[in-house]
Structure 1
Amino acid sequence: MVVGMSGGYGAWPPQEPEPTLELRQPSRWEKLRGRLPLSRGAEGQGEVLQPDERFYGAPGQQQYVSGQQQYVPGQYGPGEYGPGEYGGPGEVQPGAPRGPEGPGGPGGPGRPRKQRRFSWPKRILAGFVVLVLLIGGYGTWLYFHASGEIRHEHVLSDYPGRPPEGKGTNWLLVGSDDREGLTKDQQDALHTGGGSVTGGTSRTDSMMLLHSGDHGTTLISLPRDSYVTIPAWTDSKGKPHKESKNKLNAAFAFGGAPLLVKTIETSTGVRIDHFAEVGFGGFVKVTDSVGGVDMCLDKPIKDELSGADLKAGCQTLNGGQALAYVRMRYADPLGDIGRMQRQRQFLAALAHKVSSMGVILNPFKLVPTLDNSLAAFKTSDGTSLGDLYDLFQNMKSVNGGGGHTIVVPIANPDYNVPNVGSSILWNQTKAAQLWNDLKNDTEVTGFSAT
């Protein structure tokens, strides 16, 4: 007799009840990760999934897969979270890769991936750091490059009776008639004449003493025809020469820069700390490298010997025009005095142009300017790039009204001496006061700029 299901006795024949699975809610971390715990497999297999019946799939469905991570079918139970969620049935197949292109990877139907982005403050800070590193690297390279371009000569030396160091800093600036770097055609075009050339006897076209200290900057012109005492010296052939009276320019012609420095120190009692010399060719190159120098002329200038032919008013002088401007003297009623005035004005304007932002902030102009300037100047031993920077800054302050431009006090501008010719005789009383002001770094007042 068979009892039906309506009788409540169950189906016949008796059947084994279907196995049930105890499910537990996955943790928040498991939801985010969307995968089974990983552990190290056998050697050579890399990261693998280990069988674990505690995790919601039917026993035995987990499997080893060498070298890659995989989902397991039914990882969180059959369809508990809907098709496709956390590896539900029908979505994840055995052996399916669990990488960027597989389920659960970026862009796949599995877990979402949060993208990390730099905030704007961090981006700005990173850009600023990169900019500082670039500027620092460029500045370091520029410093060592420029320092290597400085031309040094042994000019300053100790000798018995040399003046002691005073307050402030003293530069001796010399413009010579050296034609180094100029061809014969260039000399003709610049009206420099045959004159002396490299290896021959040089002469000075200008001499200036620049003093800087607590009371500003003072630029003093020393006339090349000044009648002074030239100390004993020895020529290049080893022949000694006794102390003599002559023009200041003769000291440079006899013994070069070392004898000139010694003559000025013994005549003034002022110790020279640095020396710089520039020739005709270097003067032209420096002027052209900065794009010319702006000058304002009260009247037109025309001088056949120097080649100067300039109109009145403000204009930009190129290298050739600038050289003619500072060398002109025969068409000037003041002669050498007028020429020294123009030389001081031009050097101050040149220093202002070299140190301007248009040159400093433009690497394509700054590097050629430094190369031409440093190659044009001959400096004394021990003169650094920082010293030259201070020199240009002090020259700039003179042009900006932060200093004085004067000529050494003169007693007689046409002092005729047998076998020497027309010379300039200093006013020794006033000159002594000027030298004391420089040595003690006191304010220089009461002296004429002509």
Structure 2
Amino acid sequence: MSDDHARPIPRRPAPGSGDDDVYVVDTRRRRGAPSPGSARRATPPPPAAAPADAAGYDEYGRPVAAPGRGAVPGRAPADRGARPPREPRPPREPRPPREPRTRRPGRGRRVASLLVLALVAWVGFTAFAPWHAWSSVSRVDDVPSGERPTAGDGHTYLLVGSDSREGLSREERRKLGTGTAEGRRTDSIILVHTPSGAGKPALVSVPRDSFLPIPGHGENKVNAAFAIGGPKLLVQTLEQATGLRIDGYVEIGFGGFSTVVDSLGGVDLCVPRAIKDEKAHIDLAKGCQTLDGPTALGYVRARYSDPEGDIGRAKRQRQFLGAVMKEAATPSTVLVPWRWWSFTHAAASSVYVGRETSLLDAYRILSTMRKVSSDGALSLVVPIGNANVTTSAGSSVVWDAQRAKELFGMLNDGTPLEAPPPGTDGKPTGG
């Protein structure tokens, strides 16, 4: 065992030796004894517990703690309970009010931005669809040569429904009941007038059997002008007969009627009486109902089953046009992109427009048609003197010359029309 673990053990000197400083070194290491180095680091053991009475009460009856760390045996500890009074704390100053927390751009603002972008996109698409469709329409020459009436108040347009079979297959002709005749003839002739000031716009039907002078071709039914010289001669004939300057021309064929109605999912019409017409391929009950494309076409073409003949058909045509535009302006059409696109392009696919007719002119025509369904526009027919007169052209319609002149004079001068003038309901006023 090394000397590091040895510790001196005092030994009692032998009597009479005189060696009082002799030590015997015990080199044995006791089990569990700490080394000298570790003894220096060890914590001394606590003093033995004082007797119970030593930790009781002093001579004055005060409790005395047992001797321990910081206590001196035999001396009463100081009274630790007597502390000097604390100075009162100064009152706390009130906290300054917190500034309102400013929210950083979050989800709400992002959602609002997306909604604004969607609205702008929808408005842009709503305007783009008709513009794109308008760029694909077919143009025709409708401007007559020679002397023409001077422009009057507002604008007057010519709207023609033709029986053209162009673009229809044999199966489509059979389904629509259009027959196999070639060429184009007028099935409906309507003057659309939009005033510049007060007064309601008006749709004025011109019976296609109206007996009128045709420039360069004597007197004949007005639809003969279309068959002979097309839109240009028809415009010239009507300008000469009415004294109105015609500012634009729009024509739609059989196929267009049916396609436009189907693109809208049908048109709601109130049929005033039961109609069964084999030539028009319809069998309709009285009452309000939804008509699909072929049925709506038969409704506006039916002639022989109508007691009023061509006059009754003209009324149904104006009713139909108003119903189409009313349906086209509903949110279910305008707010649904594919339906709006389908309607505008279906309408443009079978439409012919005059070479000087603009998109604004087309808008005025469509707007007037829509107003008819809500009584915002007048639905008229040229004053009739006799609805069945035998002429060189066969059974014809003769106008009431005086009343017709008054009506067209009011339109040309800008006289407001708030109610149908006398004689414009289609009933004959003379013999």
Report the TM-score when normalising by structure 1. Answer: 0.67
- Aligned pair 1:226/2:213, yes or no? no
Distance 2:205 2:238 in 1: 12
Q: How does 1:132-143 map to 2 (within 5 A)?
A: 132-135=119-122, 137-139=124-126, 141-142=128-129
Counterpart in 1 of 2:194? 212
Distance 1:162 1:258 in 2: 12
Counterpart in 2 of 1:350? 324
Shift of 1:320: 0.4
Instruction: Specify whether residues 414 and 146 from structure 1 end up closer, same or farther in structure 2 by C-alpha distance, changes over 3 A only.
Output: same
Shift of 1:120: 5.1
Does the 8 Å CA contact 2:263/2:339 hold for their aligned counterparts?
yes
Distance 1:272 1:283 in 2: 23
Distance 1:208 1:137 in 2: 32
Counterpart in 2 of 1:260? 234
Does the 8 Å CA contact 1:355/1:392 hold for their aligned counterparts?
no
Distance 2:214 2:227 in 1: 11
Counterpart in 1 of 2:413? 440
Q: Secondary structure at the match of 1:340?
A: helix
- Name which of 174, 177, 189 aligns with 1:191: 177
Distance 2:134 2:321 in 1: 22
Matched to 1:446, the amino acid is P
Q: Secondary structure at the match of 2:201?
A: strand
Matched to 1:364, the amino acid is W
Does the 8 Å CA contact 1:406/1:447 hold for their aligned counterparts?
no
- Name which of 325, 333, 336 aligns with 1:359: 333
Shift of 1:140: 5.9
- Aligned pair 1:182/2:168, yes or no? yes
Instruction: Specify whether residues 244 and 300 from structure 1 end up closer, same or farther in structure 2 by C-alpha distance, changes over 3 A only.
Output: same
Which structure 2 segments of 5+ residues have no match? 1-102, 427-431
Q: How does 1:43-82 map to 2 (within 5 A)?
A: none
Q: Give 1 or 2 for the bigger CA radius of gyration.
A: 2
Shift of 1:143: 5.2
- Aligned pair 1:428/2:401, yes or no? yes
Q: How does 1:24-35 map to 2 (within 5 A)?
A: none
Tell me the alpha carbon deviations over residues 148-198 of structure 1, each in whole angstroms, 9 at most, x when there is no partner: 2232222124x33200111111111111110122111221122111122xx
Shift of 1:333: 1.3
Q: Secondary structure at the match of 1:392?
A: helix
Counterpart in 2 of 1:170? 156
Distance 1:137 1:348 in 2: 26
Shift of 1:147: 3.2
The total of aligned residue pairs comes to 319
Q: Secondary structure at the match of 2:202?
A: strand
Counterpart in 1 of 2:133? 146
Aligned Cα RMSD in Å?
1.9
Does the 8 Å CA contact 2:152/2:412 hold for their aligned counterparts?
yes
Tell me the alpha carbon deviations over residues 188-244 of structure 1, each in whole angstroms, 9 at most, x when there is no partner: 122111122xxx3x2111111111113111111101111111112xxxxxxxxxx41
Distance 1:140 1:398 in 2: 23
Does the 8 Å CA contact 1:294/1:314 hold for their aligned counterparts?
yes
Of the structure 1 ranges 385-394 and 398-407, higher mean CA displacement relative to structure 2 is found in: 385-394
Distance 1:137 1:219 in 2: 31
Matched to 1:126, the amino acid is S
Instruction: Specify whether residues 141 and 161 from structure 1 end up closer, same or farther in structure 2 by C-alpha distance, changes over 3 A only.
Output: closer
Instruction: Specify whether residues 305 and 443 from structure 1 end up closer, same or farther in structure 2 by C-alpha distance, changes over 3 A only.
Output: same
Matched to 1:131, the amino acid is A
Does the 8 Å CA contact 1:178/1:280 hold for their aligned counterparts?
yes
Does the 8 Å CA contact 2:199/2:415 hold for their aligned counterparts?
yes
Instruction: Specify whether residues 182 and 123 from structure 1 end up closer, same or farther in structure 2 by C-alpha distance, changes over 3 A only.
Output: same
- Aligned pair 1:292/2:253, yes or no? no
Distance 2:423 2:374 in 1: 19
Matched to 2:422, the amino acid is G
Distance 1:405 1:134 in 2: 37
Among the aligned pairs, what percent are the same residue?
40
Counterpart in 2 of 1:156? 143
Q: How does 1:347-426 map to 2 (within 5 A)?
A: 347-418=321-392, 420-426=393-399
Distance 1:139 1:422 in 2: 47
Matched to 2:178, the amino acid is T
Does the 8 Å CA contact 2:388/2:397 hold for their aligned counterparts?
yes
- Name which of 292, 297, 311 aligns with 2:285: 311
Report the TM-score when normalising by structure 2. Answer: 0.70
Shift of 1:133: 4.8
Instruction: Specify whether residues 122 and 189 from structure 1 end up closer, same or farther in structure 2 by C-alpha distance, changes over 3 A only.
Output: closer
Counterpart in 2 of 1:35? none
Distance 1:296 1:320 in 2: 17
Does the 8 Å CA contact 1:355/1:393 hold for their aligned counterparts?
no
Instruction: Specify whether residues 429 and 370 from structure 1 end up closer, same or farther in structure 2 by C-alpha distance, changes over 3 A only.
Output: same
